[in-house]
Chains A and B, each alone.
Chain A
Amino acid sequence: MVKFLVQRTIGMIITMFFVSMMVFAIMELPPGDYAERWAFRKFSGTGAQITEADLDNIRANFGLDRPAPERYFKWISGIVLHGDFGEAFAFQTSVNNVIGQKIWLTLAILFFTLVVTYLVSIPVGIYAAVRRNSIEDYALTAFSYLGFALPNFLLALVLLYVSITVFDSSVGGLFSPEYADAPWSIDKAKDLLSHLVIPAIILAWSATAFQLQTVRATMLDELNTLSVTAARARGVPEWKLLLKYPARLAINPVVSTMSFDANRIFSELPIVALVLGLPELGELLLKSYLDLDMFVAGAILLILTFMIVFMNFLSDIFLAILDPRVKLIEG
């Protein structure tokens, strides 16, 4: 197990190295750079003539005149050694200041959504498989197809409407007004959690629908294996053998696609966030790209990809715990 962990950790570091280079390459891709954007903002309409030499000066000020490999190493070593993601030009402060809070909120939404997804889809999927072809099974299947079919911004609007008209509470934003600028406290965390419920339900719905069907299908296969009959023939109580044998294997495909779920939630988050007025990173990513504010964009991309790589790492470890054959393949 230790060897497996070391192997996987090294694998993750190597992956992140390549990912960071790709992210940097993507940062370099758009035509122009922030120097031009800055000059345009500053001097447009003033009638000033900007020469190529002026631009070069501005570039030197921002450190954008250095060759790309040098800038890459400066950028990446700042992140690795000091946790410094560079300068957010457009905000005239550091990237860390700009994205700091939003990163944590985004991760909170992501984590909470994943927890909701698995807490619902795994037990319900197992239940539906065990009660195959019963009314409960059909109802759950219909319900989960609704999850596939319903666009989640619509769901967001409906829930928003319901919570305002029926429960008279605002679900917009992540904090109630009284806590928005308050320092962190237990009450503020509670407030955050209560605000996370609605976005988590909306974001989890389609992932839950998908994983529920996965669990149900795998569970059905596993229920028919001889090892289940063998356990039953040993007199093991039904619920105990269901949990011990087929259920353990039925969650394998869910565990191995955890990073897909994370990815799906990241992609759906901006739309839902727009409807619910949540602070998150998607909008900022788009804006920083439009501004050619590359270190902000780079930091967001890097953190999101890191999360997905990390989820992959986690799912590898969970899989190895769930299924000893996984380690065998690794050698």
Chain B
Amino acid sequence: MANPKQNTDDNLLEVKNLKISFKTDEGIITAVDGIDFSVKRGQTLGIVGESGSGKSVSTWSIMRLLPKNSIIDKNSSIKFQRKSGKVVEMTKFKKNGRELRKIRGGEVALIFQEPMSSFSPVYTIGNQIMEAVLHHRDVTKKEAEEIAVDMLDRVGISNPRQRFKQYPYELSGGMRQRAMIAVALSMNPSLLIADEPTTSLDVTIQAQILELMNELQEDLGMSIIFITHNLGVIAQVADEINVMYLGKIVERGTTKDIIHEPKHPYTQALLKAIPRLDRIGERLTAIRGDIPSPLSRPTGCPFYTRCGKVIPGVCDVKMPESTHLSDTHTVYCFLHEEKDV
């Protein structure tokens, strides 16, 4: 596995110091607090974290899809390399402007957790795929229909010609998610953001979708950002994993690093919370407490309020610096900090 610190030319997406807040009635809420991550060509970056950790917000911001009350900090940078080779700064685009719309879908596509609500109920599946194709490819309606049917077939939907004419509510949940993937891929993006694409599906369908995504990635050579709260799912698809907690990245590394040698107490706790067949007799350990409200972010390490290994007087005072455990493995935790020095 390549070192993420090198080969920066190989990065399709480079996010630096991303900070996102929301203006609300209760005040300004910081959802993402200065994170860095990058996605390499043809690879899958997994982002893991509980609900409210800022996974979706940070990735939606890449496409500038956040609601009007969101603020992306001035010093944040989201650099994306376009198909033309030009590197663009996504935070500088005008909202819903022309170049941004070219990138949306055509170069960065998004699939959602809820395939039912992400399709409009009043248009056929075919209509919504064709809309995507016609917007991003220079083809006739007839050709667009062929591309759409072809893509439905490719994502494993039976009778694609018939499904093309059907409405979203006439398909099963797994079918809809496949159709959602077909919409995204029909635009031929170089980066696919999958926002919990398997969360609403049952386990067998989940496995099929994961396999499908792996296959398609190999065929089409795109990069994927895969967001989930389930480390078990991400282990099957990701090359690298970033673990997020309360708007911060607390640990990053290759999938092997994270799954086999988790260093941050939060990552360790997440792994213990996954049911496993080989530990059928043991009780699952839940992480105690709830994720704090972003309105009252703890000072210091965001996780100290729930951490079993908290060092009083240290963890609750300042945010730990990054500690490089290896070329690929980085953790933000005082437990490991001294080893780095």
Interface residues, chain A, CB within 8 Å of chain B? Answer: 225-227, 229-238, 244-245, 248-249, 322-325, 328
B337: CB under 8 A from chain A?
A: no
Contact indicator A324/B103 (Cβ below 8 Å): no
Taking chain A's interface residues, is the majority helix, strand, or loop, or is none over half, making it mixed?
helix
A-B interface contact total, Cβ < 8 Å: 69
Which listed residue, B96, B104, B123, touches A234 by the CB 8 Å rule? B104
Interface residues, chain B, CB within 8 Å of chain A? Answer: 63, 65, 96, 101-106, 109-110, 112, 114, 117-123, 128, 131-132, 135-136, 167, 169, 183, 187
Per the bound structure, the CA–CA distance linking A245 and B122 in Å amounts to 8
Please name all residues of chain B whose beta carbon is closer than 8 Å to the beta carbon of A237 when the two chains form the complex: 96, 101
Residue of B nearest to A326 (CB): B122
Per the bound structure, the CA–CA distance linking A227 and B111 in Å amounts to 11
Please name all residues of chain B whose beta carbon is closer than 8 Å to the beta carbon of A229 when the two chains form the complex: 65, 118
Q: How far is the CB of A240 from chain B (nearest CB, A)?
A: 9
Per the bound structure, the CA–CA distance linking A245 and B121 in Å amounts to 9
Q: How far is the CB of A226 from chain B (nearest CB, A)?
A: 4
Contact indicator A235/B105 (Cβ below 8 Å): yes
Q: How far is the CB of A10 from chain B (nearest CB, A)?
A: 26
Which listed residue, A226, A233, A325, touches B117 by the CB 8 Å rule? A226
Interface centre among B96, B101, B105, B120 (most CB of A within 10 A): B120
Please name all residues of chain A whose beta carbon is closer than 8 Å to the beta carbon of B132 when the two chains form the complex: 234-235
Contact indicator B119/A230 (Cβ below 8 Å): yes
Known contacts: A245-B120, A322-B122. The answer to whether A232 contacts B96 by CB under 8 A is yes
Residue of B nearest to A323 (CB): B122
Contact indicator A230/B102 (Cβ below 8 Å): no
Contact indicator A236/B135 (Cβ below 8 Å): yes
Per the bound structure, the CA–CA distance linking A237 and B105 in Å amounts to 12
Q: How far is the CB of B83 from chain A (nearest CB, A)?
A: 14
Per the bound structure, the CA–CA distance linking A225 and B112 in Å amounts to 12
Residue of B nearest to A321 (CB): B122
Which listed residue, B101, B103, B120, B187, touches A227 by the CB 8 Å rule? B120
Known contacts: A232-B65, A324-B122. The answer to whether A225 contacts B117 by CB under 8 A is yes
Per the bound structure, the CA–CA distance linking A225 and B132 in Å amounts to 18
Which listed residue, A232, A233, A249, touches B109 by the CB 8 Å rule? A233
Contact indicator A233/B65 (Cβ below 8 Å): yes
